[in-house]
Amino acid sequence: IMFNFAFVVTAPPLVSLAKKESIAYKALGMACVAMGVLYTMVGCVGAPVANAVRNGLIEGGDDTNLLSLILLSGNVEGGADGRPSMIDLFCIGTFGLSTVASVPVYCLLAKDTLVNDAGVARMPAFLLSNVLPWLLVALTYNAAFFEAFVNWSGLLILGYSNFSLPLLLDVKLKKVRSLLGEEGSITSVVFSFLTASISAVIAISITNSLAIAGLLFGAVMIASMWPSQRN
């Protein structure tokens, strides 16, 4: 769930596009609240499915997609017709629309970043941000490696760039904050914990070993906190 809130990289271009910083911050805050509500809704309608999956009451219960399992749950709880309830359909449809609606936002912010920060002309920036990604997806969507590419790019890129890098930059400003009488110890601890957690998730995805993930978590925690302790 944490990785579904990985939109920190959109904050700088969003702030630059907004008339006021406060408007951008309010938009990000409202987005967090809306997605939190949607995830809660999906979790509430999906929780009853867990017991049916364990007992083998759902046909196709080996599917690992929660949304698919909710739809399949109609075979157990939906009555004679075996259809999911209207509440299930509403929650899944609303959640699906929310994820699709985020795609144009990312395309717009990517184009703005290419034009304003990278100095790319508007037409090449439009092609790179709005056309090329769709072409790549259309050509590789059914490929065997596509799912693995999405999962690993999310773990290796989105995780660190959205959660670890902003905190690391904040830690690097400790000298500036110290001049203002502020401390950065809490930020350092949060940075170490998040970076170690992301590393542990990657480790358990590769090795499927909780012990190795735990060892890596401890090692990253110690390695990331050691420089701050020396200072």
What was the pLDDT predicted at 134? 86
What was the pLDDT predicted at 127? 93
Pairwise CA distance, residues 163 & 154, whole Å: 12
Is residue 185 within 8 A of residue 228, CB to CB? The reply is yes
Pairwise CA distance, residues 29 & 137, whole Å: 30
Tokens of 5: 């809130």
Per-residue pLDDT of the chain (231 residues; tens, 9 = 90+): 566 666 777 777 777 777 888 888 888 888 888 878 888 887 787 777 766 666 666 665 566 667 777 776 655 544 445 567 788 788 778 877 777 777 787 888 888 888 888 889 999 999 999 999 888 888 887 777 777 787 777 777 777 887 788 777 777 776 666 665 555 567 778 888 888 888 888 888 788 888 998 999 999 888 887 755 555
Q: Strand (E) positions, the chain?
A: none
Q: For residue 84, give the amino acid letter.
A: P
Q: What is the pTM of this model?
A: 0.58
Q: How far is CA 184 from CA 4, 79, 145, 163, 230, in A?
A: 27, 57, 42, 16, 14
What was the pLDDT predicted at 39? 81
What was the pLDDT predicted at 179? 62
Based on C-alpha coordinates, what's the Rg of the chain? Answer: 22
Torsional sign, CA 111, 161, 154, 89: negative
Closest CA to 49 of 40, 58, 41: 58
* Residue 59 backbone zone (phi > 0: left; psi -120 to 50: alpha; other: beta): beta
Is residue 73 within 8 A of residue 88, CB to CB? The reply is yes
Residues whose CB falls within 8 Å of the CB of residue 24, separated by 6 or more in sequence, listed in order: 11, 14, 15, 17, 18
Question: Any idea how long the chain is?
Answer: 231
Closest CA to 6 of 180, 150, 179: 150
